Amino acid sequence: MKIAKLEAIPYSIPYRKPLKFASGEVEAAEHVLIRVTTDDGVTGIADTPPRPYTYGETQASIVAVVDQIFGPSLLGLDPLDREKIHAKLNRTVHNNTAKGGIDIAVWDIIGQLAGLPVSSMLGGFTDGMRVSHMLGFAESQKLLDEALRMRDQYGIDTFKLKVGRRPIGLDIEACHVLRDGLGQETEIYLDANRGWTANEAMEVLRQTDGLGLSLLEEPCDAKEAMSRKRLVEKSPIPVVGDESVPTAGDVSRELLAGGCNAISIKTARSGFTEAQRILSLCEGLGVDVVIGNQIDTQIGTLASVTFGSAFEATTRRAGELSNFLDMSDDLLADPLLIQDGRINAREVPGVGAAIDEEKLARYRQDQ
Amino acid sequence: MKIAKLEAIPYSIPYRKPLKFASGEVEAAEHVLIRVTTDDGVTGIADTPPRPYTYGETQASIVAVVDQIFGPSLLGLDPLDREKIHAKLNRTVHNNTAKGGIDIAVWDIIGQLAGLPVSSMLGGFTDGMRVSHMLGFAESQKLLDEALRMRDQYGIDTFKLKVGRRPIGLDIEACHVLRDGLGQETEIYLDANRGWTANEAMEVLRQTDGLGLSLLEEPCDAKEAMSRKRLVEKSPIPVVGDESVPTAGDVSRELLAGGCNAISIKTARSGFTEAQRILSLCEGLGVDVVIGNQIDTQIGTLASVTFGSAFEATTRRAGELSNFLDMSDDLLADPLLIQDGRINAREVPGVGAAIDEEKLARYRQDQ
């Protein structure tokens, strides 16, 4: 069996409301659907989110790198030869989501060939994941209202608050309002998306002391090497590396340099193969992981759940899996459901991300 | 004065012979010309080389990021407000040569406004740089022949040997042949472009001991964090970070983590502004720098000379400035000359990279 076709299809689906955070803002999901087809007609599917402010990729760069570099180098390879495929992909630097999408699509094919759910093939620890919901920039009372609504409607009781605003008092107040309104049992953690300096982040930690926040993600740019190392040493809670650690090599460098001591794993940028390497590295070093969200569609979220539910270490914490609720539509034929605060992986061969061809025809931008 | 237009013009000029090295191979210069024009009609010029195997950029990604992101965010800004321009550019991750090209074009405008050579504005240390010539993969005797020819023809007496081949004996033999053939006074240094493991590089250092090699560049992938740190600690000669350190932040992280102890500065990926930050960081820390080559055209090489000749620290070592000799043609109207082993910066306002419009029309790929 050989890879016969690699498609990178740009499409656009509007969000219900624009999403704001310290490193950027998005109004529509202008993503690229990756479709890998074998000479036997087996099709693998993945979704790639271009994030110029995180990985430097644009829709155009993803389409170009797939059409001009990855396509020609992968055609004719057996989808089972994943290490060979990655040796080819790794000749090109960065382009993380393009590579991640191809890897997931290849795994999707492998699962279908084997007649097994990919989640089982990866590890099969459990059938799904608890959901953590992300709260974007908003006035404190609105943040609390949204959290309470998510708890009532979906049973979600873990919240990631987007912070990194100035003055820092805005975010500190939001932490207090959320803790007061949600009670002591709810998990709340912070993601600054590099919005602060390391020293601002230190001050936020002091002024939220006692609130029981569980994690602080990307408080400042990892390039602030000395100050961030000091922050990581002093912080009472784990400091999570996210956009600073897209590959296993970045993870090892950042952990050894003292720039973080917990890791966000995102299948959108790592696929399953590199995500598994990262997970193994973190488990070996005794470092916590959290399954993150790249503002994923339902297709992307299903990939996260597929990976996250496969391992014990990735299910200890809730996964960030609810961003798709902000989308006005999706290409996934059979919609994802959040029930009792959980999303399940699919008990079908492959990843199970069958797409709605009519919707693809409606939203694609290349025809 | 305002930035009124940002152009990213893809073009292709064949090389005389394909250039081979451990991380890739190129047959034609498929670059992107960056042209920034103000509302007063002043034009700044820079050349950007897409290097997917080094920075993940393609011609298409450079054109897309300039047209879709950098253009819209920079139009209307005063070219003198460089920090404002960089704050905008830095919202997007990576895309190093696209950013570098814009910065150089902006400096070109600033120099013309001021009526001063940019090299003088940056520091004005001297009028040019000694040239180091890069020897690509070839049989040892051919490498020596090329080196001797470069010495005879251009007066060049510093050579960077591309290594990273397997078995390592190929490169070790080349080192011995070059030293024997060129004599003790010629500077020879190595660039493996991540072609080896750290331990292979250690073995090469043992087997070339006594040959007086001066530097070892990117012996292995910086992601081999532990082994590379060990190599750097043990190496008798400086280990130069190149593709691992495209920005000042990367430089500080890599130096502090012990992954290198000398730095290659390339204006193609850093522009002048970030290159100056990198240089200041290295001078402050007492770290050697070398002006590197991104397989630059004459336009790109002129930018390197403009920057490199401006400072004392960048002129201590010869700059890698001769790759353009392999091109069959160039867009630069007034050709660069290598004389007595040196290239001079231009004593004209700006950078002095006036282009030949007829050639641009011939080689551009977008019309």
- Between chains, do B253 and A253 touch, taking CB under 8 Å as contact? yes
* pLDDT at residue number B367: 87
Nearest CB among A58, A68, A225 relative to B65 is that of: A58
What is the full DSSP assignment across A20-57?
Answer: EETTEEEEEEEEEEEEEEETT--EEEEEE---TTTT--
Residues of A in contact with B259 (CB under 8 A): 253
Query: Among A47, A57, A200, A217, which one carries the catalytic annotation?
Result: A217
Nearest CB among A58, A95, A226 relative to B69 is that of: A58
- Between chains, do A56 and B93 touch, taking CB under 8 Å as contact? yes
- Between chains, do B91 and A252 touch, taking CB under 8 Å as contact? no
Percent of chain A with pLDDT over 70: 99
Establish if B253 touches chain A: CB-CB under 8 angstroms. Answer: yes
Given a contact cutoff of 8 angstroms between Cβ atoms, the answer to whether B173 and B167 are in contact is no
Residues of A in contact with B52 (CB under 8 A): 65, 69, 91-93, 95
Query: What is the bridge-based pairing of β-strands A342-344 and A128-135?
Result: antiparallel
Neighbours of B360 (CB within 10 A): 16
pLDDT in tens, A203-220: 999 999 999 999 999 999
Using only C-alpha atoms, chain B has a radius of gyration, in whole angstroms, of 20
Among B68, B94, B242, the strongest candidate for a mutation testing the A interface, having the largest count of A CBs within 10 A, is B94
**Residue A229 backbone dihedrals phi, psi, to 5 degrees:** -60, -40
Task: Report the alpha-carbon distance of residue A363 to residue B8 in Å, rounded.
Answer: 28
Residue of B nearest to A194 (CA): B91
Active site residue A250: no
| Bridge partners, residue A190, by sequence | A161, A216
Distance from CA of B53 to the nearest CA of A (A): 4
Establish if B183 touches chain A: CB-CB under 8 angstroms. Answer: no
Helices (H), A286-365: 298-308, 312-315, 357-363
Establish if B226 touches chain A: CB-CB under 8 angstroms. Answer: yes
The reply to whether A3-115+358-363 and A120-344 are identical in fold is no
Helices (H), A184-343: 198-207, 225-234, 248-257, 267-285, 298-308, 312-315
Structure-block tokens of residue B331: 């867009």
Distance from CA of A30 to the nearest CA of B (A): 13
Structure-block tokens of residue A132: 């953590």
* pLDDT at residue number A19: 75
pLDDT in tens, A80-111: 999 999 999 999 999 999 999 999 999 999 99
Indicate the residue type of B138: A
Superfamily of domain A3-115+358-363: Enolase-like, N-terminal domain (3.30.390.10)
- Between chains, do B52 and A93 touch, taking CB under 8 Å as contact? yes
Write the CA distances from B259 to B219, B228, B238, B285, integer angstroms: 10, 6, 11, 15
**What 8-state DSSP symbol labels residue B66?**
I
Which CATH fold would you assign to the domain B3-115? Answer: Enolase-like; domain 1 (3.30.390)
Establish if A69 touches chain B: CB-CB under 8 angstroms. Answer: yes
Nearest Cα to B282, choosing from B319, B307, B251? B251
Q: Does the pLDDT value for residue A23 go beyond 70?
A: no
Distance from CA of A221 to the nearest CA of B (A): 9
- Between chains, do B93 and A55 touch, taking CB under 8 Å as contact? yes
Catalytic residues of B: 162, 191, 217, 242, 266, 294
Nearest Cα to A196, choosing from A233, A173, A169? A169
- Between chains, do A65 and B54 touch, taking CB under 8 Å as contact? no
* pLDDT at residue number A27: 85
Given a contact cutoff of 8 angstroms between Cβ atoms, the answer to whether A45 and A351 are in contact is yes
- Between chains, do B253 and A223 touch, taking CB under 8 Å as contact? yes
pLDDT in tens, A225-276: 999 999 999 999 999 999 999 999 999 999 999 999 999 999 999 999 999 9
Among A21, A32, A57, A194, the strongest candidate for a mutation testing the B interface, having the largest count of B CBs within 10 A, is A57
User: Mean pLDDT in chain A?
Assistant: 96
Indicate the residue type of A287: V
Structure-block tokens of residue A219: 């408080």
Among B253, B255, B274, B278, the strongest candidate for a mutation testing the A interface, having the largest count of A CBs within 10 A, is B253
- Between chains, do A256 and B225 touch, taking CB under 8 Å as contact? yes
Write the CA distances from A285 to A21, A255, A279, integer angstroms: 31, 9, 10
Structure-block tokens of residue A110: 């492998």
Nearest Cα to B160, choosing from B53, B344, B22? B22
Structure-block tokens of residue B359: 């050639």
Residue of A nearest to B92 (CA): A53
Establish if A248 touches chain B: CB-CB under 8 angstroms. Answer: yes
Residue of B nearest to A90 (CA): B53
Given a contact cutoff of 8 angstroms between Cβ atoms, the answer to whether A92 and A308 are in contact is no
Per-residue pLDDT of chain B (367 residues; tens, 9 = 90+): 999 999 999 999 999 988 776 766 778 999 999 999 999 999 999 999 999 999 999 999 999 999 999 999 999 999 999 999 999 999 999 999 999 999 999 999 999 999 999 999 999 999 999 999 999 999 999 999 999 999 999 999 999 999 999 999 999 999 999 999 999 999 999 999 999 999 999 999 999 999 999 999 999 999 999 999 999 999 999 999 999 999 999 999 999 999 999 999 999 999 999 999 999 999 999 999 999 999 999 999 999 999 999 999 999 999 999 999 999 999 999 999 999 999 999 999 999 999 999 999 999 999 8
Establish if B207 touches chain A: CB-CB under 8 angstroms. Answer: no
Distance from CA of B51 to the nearest CA of A (A): 9
Indicate the residue type of A344: N
pLDDT in tens, A142-163: 999 999 999 999 999 999 999 9
Task: Report the alpha-carbon distance of residue A167 to residue B138 in Å, rounded.
Answer: 59
Residue of A nearest to B24 (CA): A91
Residues of A in contact with B8 (CB under 8 A): none
Across the beta sheet with B3-21, what order do the strands follow? B3-21, B24-38, B43-48
Architecture of domain B120-344: Alpha-Beta Barrel (3.20)
- The contacts of residue B352 (CB under 8 Å, 6+ apart) are B117, B302, B306, B334, B345, B346
- Between chains, do B222 and A95 touch, taking CB under 8 Å as contact? no
Helical packing angle, B248-257 and A248-257, nearest 10°? 60
Answer positive or negative: Cα dihedral of B215, B220, B222, B225: negative
- The contacts of residue A84 (CB under 8 Å, 6+ apart) are A77, A78
**What 8-state DSSP symbol labels residue B247?**
S
- Between chains, do A24 and B91 touch, taking CB under 8 Å as contact? yes
Task: Please compute, for residue B272, the number of CA atoms within 13 A of its CA located in the half-sphere on the CB side.
Answer: 32
Establish if B225 touches chain A: CB-CB under 8 angstroms. Answer: yes
pLDDT in tens, A166-176: 999 999 999 99
Query: What is the bridge-based pairing of β-strands A128-135 and B187-191?
Result: unpaired
Among B21, B61, B90, the strongest candidate for a mutation testing the A interface, having the largest count of A CBs within 10 A, is B61
Nearest CB among A61, A93, A223 relative to B53 is that of: A93
Residue of B nearest to A62 (CA): B61
Neighbours of B29 (CB within 10 A): 27
Query: Among A191, A218, A254, A320, which one carries the catalytic annotation?
Result: A191
- The contacts of residue B283 (CB under 8 Å, 6+ apart) are B313
- The contacts of residue A186 (CB under 8 Å, 6+ apart) are A147, A151, A157, A158, A159, A178, A179
Domain boundaries, chain B: 3-115, 120-344
